[in-house]
Amino acid sequence: MVQSSFAERLRAAMEDRGLKQVDLLRVAEERGRKLGKSQISQYVSGKTIPRPDMLSFLADVLGTTEQWLMGDDAEQDKPSVPVEQSTPREVSTMRRFDKSNKLDNVSYDVRGPALDEAMRMEEDGIHILKLNIGNPAPFGFRTPDEVVQDMASQLRHTEGYSDSRGLFAARKAIMQYDQLKHIPNVTMNDIYTGNGVSDLINMVMQAMIETGDEILVPSPDYPLWTACVTLAGGKAVHYLCDEQADWMPDLDDMRSKVTSNTKAIVIINPNNPTGALYPREVLEEIVQIAREHQLILLSDEIYDRLVMDDEEHVSIASLAPDLFCITFNGLSKSHMIAGWRIGWISISGNKRIGRGLMEGINMMSNMRLCSNVPAQSIVQTALGGHQSVKGYVVPGGRVRNQRDFVYERLCAIDGVSVVKPKAAFYIFPRLDPEKFHITDDEQFQLDLLQDKKVLIVPGKGFNWMTPGYFRIVFLPRRAILGEALDKLEEFLRYYRQ
Ligand SMILES: Cc1ncc(COP(=O)(O)O)c(C=O)c1O
């Protein structure tokens, strides 16, 4: 308690003074005080409180009192940071700026507090094995040369804004891609490029959702979906995906969650975090539910080119020509250009019933002028011709080898069970509740990080509420994955909650 209130006050005082940890380190050095990086970050994170001499130094630098920093003034109704000391008085009366209350119920924890702790540890020179983010480039997955060359040669021609929907050539290539995937009646005006699928999820949710609208979102999900529904004033109602059925959507559960306020069903296929790929029959049943209740279908298919085991990806929009569908796709994962920011939506099916919504999407698109034009300029190159990504997912390919390796290693750990992913580069194991008694996912994440320097994302980060699940990203090379799994195995030998 004392630590956390001290840490809060320390952070507030630092913020008021515009001082960062490095500034305190610098002042300490100037004044000949011994203050280490890890020491200050432990104070800031609430892990420990300083000894009296350090407390007095901090109070002095921050222009406050030791008592205030320690929270000893609780009963006195003082301003947030007392100013009797050396620094300017106006600081305590300064207006404070909080995050908007629109964000109150929004959570996006894939990059949450454990990541801060990992960064702190890295600042202290500790090497962390990161299995937490699906960003291919840092793991040696390189963008195909042709794509890089084509972007370079077009840079001079992509300096201005483009049409707000996107360049003609990019949209034509997307339209042809949709034709190959049998997505019906997508015209050039039904395609919008965006700065990644992320940008478009937000844009469509803002255009579509009225306060109180319910959107059916999978659990577990890619949490941006839940966050954007909530930010737009809607209610994300989670339908379960069933581990016992290879993480397929539980159709009874989905059906039972439809109410008169439900507007749309979101599917993520192939799925993050489970790596599941939905077969045609399951998709047909989802279409049927949407049809019965007149719902919009929103399908996130960003991993559709990362499918393994000779399976075929079926686009749900191809099965629903009579419904209003929006398919989300992009090049971040298939072309290893997550940093270039390019994705798109294709509106298909019965567009007559969604004219108003299309007007809204168009307004939102115009408001942001256009998406990153250099990245649009390589869509045609990327989607046409040879698909180098295939080399990663065929037998002997790197993604597939790493998937098999991680799967086999996890299966061999006592108390761990896991469904073999069929696509993408994620796996979502379960820890036996009888053995490990996990009740707090985030604590598990933190304990694994602190004990073994391995960073994963717990199930809760994906709106999966049963504790004891976590996601591993299997993008790192096999040797690194092996090292991380050795550590996980050692950890699970003794770890219990
Ligand atoms: C299912 C899913 N959708 C969308 C995104 C965001 O992709 P983009 O880089 O296109 O914004 C991700 C990223 O991890 C994802 O996993």
End-to-end CA distance of the chain: 22
Ligand 1, residues 302, 306, 341, 428: which to mutate, most atoms within 8 A of Cβ? 302
Residue of 322, 308, 297 whose CA lies nearest to 275: 308
**198-225 pLDDT per residue, tens:** 999 999 999 999 999 999 999 999 999 9
- Res. 356 pLDDT band, cuts 50 70 90: very high
CA of residue 197 to ligand 1 center, whole Å: 6
- Res. 93 pLDDT band, cuts 50 70 90: low
What length does the chain have? 497
Q: Which residue has the higher pLDDT, 416 or 16?
A: 416
Bridging pattern class, strands 129-130 and 454-455? parallel
Distance in angstroms (rounded) separating the CA atoms of residues 115 and 109: 9
Report the pLDDT value the prediction gives residue 2, as an integer from 0 to 100. 65
Q: Which residue has the higher pLDDT, 164 or 29?
A: 164
Ligand 1, residues 143, 192, 225, 333: which to mutate, most atoms within 8 A of Cβ? 333
413 neighbors 432 (Cβ within 8 angstroms): no
Ligand 1, residues 332, 335, 475: which to mutate, most atoms within 8 A of Cβ? 332
The pLDDT of 161-186, averaged and rounded, is: 98
**291-338 pLDDT per residue, tens:** 999 999 999 999 999 999 999 999 999 999 999 999 999 999 999 999
Distance in angstroms (rounded) separating the CA atoms of residues 188 and 174: 9
Ligand 1 atom closest to the CA of 271, numbered from 1: 1
- Res. 4 pLDDT band, cuts 50 70 90: low
Which residue has 């796996």 as its token pair? Answer: 427
Ligand 1 atom closest to the CA of 332, numbered from 1: 9
Neighbours of 69 (CB within 10 A): 26
**39-51 pLDDT per residue, tens:** 888 888 888 888 8
CA of residue 16 to ligand 1 center, whole Å: 36
Evaluate: CB of 254 within 6 angstroms of ligand 1: no
Ligand 1 atom closest to the CA of 343, numbered from 1: 10
Helices (H) and strands (E) in the chain, counts: 20, 15
Please tell me the least confidently modeled range out of 21-30, 335-344, 353-362: 21-30
The pLDDT of 339-352, averaged and rounded, is: 97
CA of residue 120 to ligand 1 center, whole Å: 26
Report the pLDDT value the prediction gives residue 98, as an integer from 0 to 100. 87
**Could you give the domains of the chain?**
2-97 (1.10.260.40), 113-139+391-494 (3.90.1150.10), 145-383 (3.40.640.10)
Residue of 260, 263, 158 whose CA lies nearest to 209: 263
In three-state secondary structure terms, 208 is helix
Q: Does 30 score more than 90 pLDDT? A: no
Ligand 1 atom closest to the CA of 424, numbered from 1: 16
In three-state secondary structure terms, 320 is coil
Evaluate: CB of 268 within 6 angstroms of ligand 1: yes
For 372-418, give the DSSP string: -HHHHTTHHHHHSS--TTHHHHSTT-HHHHHHHHHHHHHHTSTTEE-
Distance in angstroms (rounded) separating the CA atoms of residues 219 and 207: 23
DSSP 63: T
Evaluate: CB of 424 within 6 angstroms of ligand 1: no
Mean pLDDT, the chain, rounded, equals 92
Report the pLDDT value the prediction gives residue 92, as an integer from 0 to 100. 54
Overall pTM surpassing 0.85 (yes/no): no
Evaluate: CB of 223 within 6 angstroms of ligand 1: no
In 3-state terms the chain splits into helix, strand, coil percentages (rounded to 5) of 45, 15, 40
Residue of 310, 248, 232, 237 whose CA lies nearest to 284: 248
Q: In 296-323, which positions are buried (b, 16+ CB within 10 angstroms) versus exposed (e)? A: bbbbbbbbbbbbbeeeebbbbbbbbeeb
The pLDDT of 111-117, averaged and rounded, is: 76
